Amino acid sequence: MSDTNSNSTVPETSHVPVVLIENVNPNVRNMEYAVRGPIVARAAEIDSEIKNGVKKPFAKVLPANIGDCHATGQTPITFIRQMQKERAKKRILAGCRGGSIGSYSGSPGVEVIRQDIAAYITKRDDVPSKSEDVILCTGASDGIKTILSMLMTGKTGNERAGIMIPVPQYPLYSATLTEYNAQPIRYFMNEENNWSLDISELRRAIEEAKSKCLPRAICVINPGNPTGQVLTRQNIEDVIKFAHDERLMILSDEVYQHNVYAKGSEFFSFKKVLMEMGAPYNRHELASFMSASKGFMGECGFRGGYFEVVNFHPAVKACLLKTISVKLCPPVAGQAVIDCVVNPPVLGDPSYDRFMKEKTHVLSQLKEKANLVTELFNSIEGIKCNTVQGAMYSFPQIFLPPKAIEAAKAKGQTPDSFYCFSLLEETGLCVVPGSGFGQKEGTYHFRMTILPPLEEIRINIVKLAYGSPRLSGNDLHLCTFINKWRSCDSYNIL
């Protein structure tokens, strides 16, 4: 091509971008994902301000906004790292094409890993699982999006697919439904009863939605994010009966299945309960999701995940296999990490003792932090926090004075965002406003992970309650964050 046609003849300024924000797919434009939203961007700015010598009333930002375990100080499990070299060399590499982890695997994943996962599920549930029903994915997020995409009816009005999602929910669900132009059918978790799931509320939500969309599935997150509840077996049975009666497929997000802390709480998989309920429920369609990102391993960056499809019609399953084949395959290194999770060292293996010690340590620390967070939040006037029974988050309710609510509205922010931004600026604690997950009208919350080190959590909650210590000269000046919010008059923004 000759240079005469090049940009030199066209003034730089005359180029109008072909893709403008106005003509980006509106569904993509309208997606929101609070976990990495504006408050997190501000936290990153504050971090670099501190590095550049700007004085703040705190030494560093404490990121308690995202369930990224290693990023907040958790030590990786040694076995998983060793295995990346050792086991990969033998069994997994033998299952890889050309004996290389750098080859594409089959689209549903490496066959030996699918077998290991099926064996894990069988042992966990005492109910058979088949490797043909196990599909590896790029983190659970990818699997959830794949299944949801299959349920879209792609139409408008009351033929548009409706998907039941909890409120509060992990925003992957609301964002994906926006992207796919589906109708979220929101059911509220019962905060007064430790975020339990009430069947009467499911009925209310679906009845109201029937004139607006075509209800197709119900998503349940157990243990819950951001709410931290663990469903009882009876509750799961009731959800299955409801889904069966309403002809809804079940998506059970069970990525926190290893994260159960509260006395009396126990994890039951939807698959186990559904199968043990017998006919007709044991024929009902279910997809359940698991991840390498959570549990005791927290290997978020490997993007390992899988889902098990139960009772799918053969033609639908073939269609599913076709759609995942377009993505070629999930990362093989992530698949290998999942293999470690489902196939850990056993008694007698050289890595067994160390593996058990590290796993137990991580889970017992999380349990201690879950208790500490609940206790500390509930000791503060103006905050109420349900027991963190499982998962990795607390979701306390904050009671804001009317003047604070007005001031937030005047600034064009939701009151909880306003609160969280102030909290970040004053104390360095980065949490996510409840509005990013959904909450009952007129209530305000935030989500704080229980991942940072115990002592840092304690210090930050105490700072939140009683003020962040500021040193000026020899004086220790206590700026009382919560007290400022209670008596808005002394709060400088108000």
Ligand X SMILES: Cc1ncc(COP(=O)(O)O)c(C=O)c1O
Q: Return residues touching ligand X (CB under 6 A).
A: 67, 139-141, 170, 172, 221, 225, 253, 255, 291, 293, 300, 305
Say if residues 259 and 391 touch (Cβ distance below 8 Å). yes
Residue 229 beta carbon to ligand X: minimum distance, rounded to whole angstroms: 12
Establish how many alpha carbons lie within 13 A of residue 342's alpha carbon, considering only the half-sphere containing its beta carbon.
Answer: 29
Residue 137 beta carbon to ligand X: minimum distance, rounded to whole angstroms: 8
Residue 56 identity (one-letter amino acid): K
Q: Which of 253/426 has CB closer to ligand X?
A: 253
Q: Which of 79/307 has CB closer to ligand X?
A: 307
Rounded distance between C-alpha atoms, residue 242 and residue 319, angstroms: 27
3-state secondary structure 188-245: ECEHHHCCECCHHHHHHHHHHHCCCCEEEEEEEECCCCCCCCCCCHHHHHHHHHHHHH
Residue 471 beta carbon to ligand X: minimum distance, rounded to whole angstroms: 37
Residue 318 beta carbon to ligand X: minimum distance, rounded to whole angstroms: 25
Cβ neighbours of residue 366 under 8 Å, at least 6 residues apart? Answer: 259, 261, 392, 450, 451
Rounded distance between C-alpha atoms, residue 470 and residue 477, angstroms: 5
- Among residues 437, 460, 10, which one has the least CA distance to residue 186? 437
375 to 378, 385, 386: CA distances (angstroms): 5, 8, 9
Residue 173 beta carbon to ligand X: minimum distance, rounded to whole angstroms: 8
Residue with the CB atom nearest ligand X in the bound state: 139
Q: Which of 395/485 has CB closer to ligand X?
A: 395
Q: Which of 306/444 has CB closer to ligand X?
A: 306
Residue 35 beta carbon to ligand X: minimum distance, rounded to whole angstroms: 7
Residue 385 beta carbon to ligand X: minimum distance, rounded to whole angstroms: 19
Q: Which of 300/420 has CB closer to ligand X?
A: 300
Question: What are the φ/ψ torsions at residue 298 (nearest 5 degrees)?
Answer: 55, 35
Residue 82 beta carbon to ligand X: minimum distance, rounded to whole angstroms: 22
Say if residues 60 and 66 touch (Cβ distance below 8 Å). no
Q: Which of 144/213 has CB closer to ligand X?
A: 144
Two structure tokens written together for 337: 């990490």
Which DSSP string do the residues of 24-81 spell out, in sequence order?
A: S-HHHHT---GGGSHHHHHHHHHHHHHHTT---SSSS-EE-SS--TGGGTPPPPHHHH
Residue 138 beta carbon to ligand X: minimum distance, rounded to whole angstroms: 7
478: how many CB neighbours lie within 10 A of its CB? 13
Q: Which of 271/463 has CB closer to ligand X?
A: 271
Q: Which of 172/429 has CB closer to ligand X?
A: 172
Q: Which of 113/221 has CB closer to ligand X?
A: 221
Nearest-10 Cα torsion for 238, 240, 246, 251:
130
Residue 295 beta carbon to ligand X: minimum distance, rounded to whole angstroms: 11
Q: Which of 224/415 has CB closer to ligand X?
A: 224
Burial of residue 17 (number of CB atoms within 10 Å: 0-12, 13-18, 19+): exposed
Question: What are the φ/ψ torsions at residue 429 (nearest 5 degrees)?
Answer: -85, 120
Q: Which residues pair with 383 in a beta bridge?
A: 398
Residue 252 beta carbon to ligand X: minimum distance, rounded to whole angstroms: 10
Q: Which of 133/142 has CB closer to ligand X?
A: 142
- Among residues 344, 376, 401, 399, which one has the least CA distance to residue 460? 376
Say if residues 140 and 293 touch (Cβ distance below 8 Å). yes
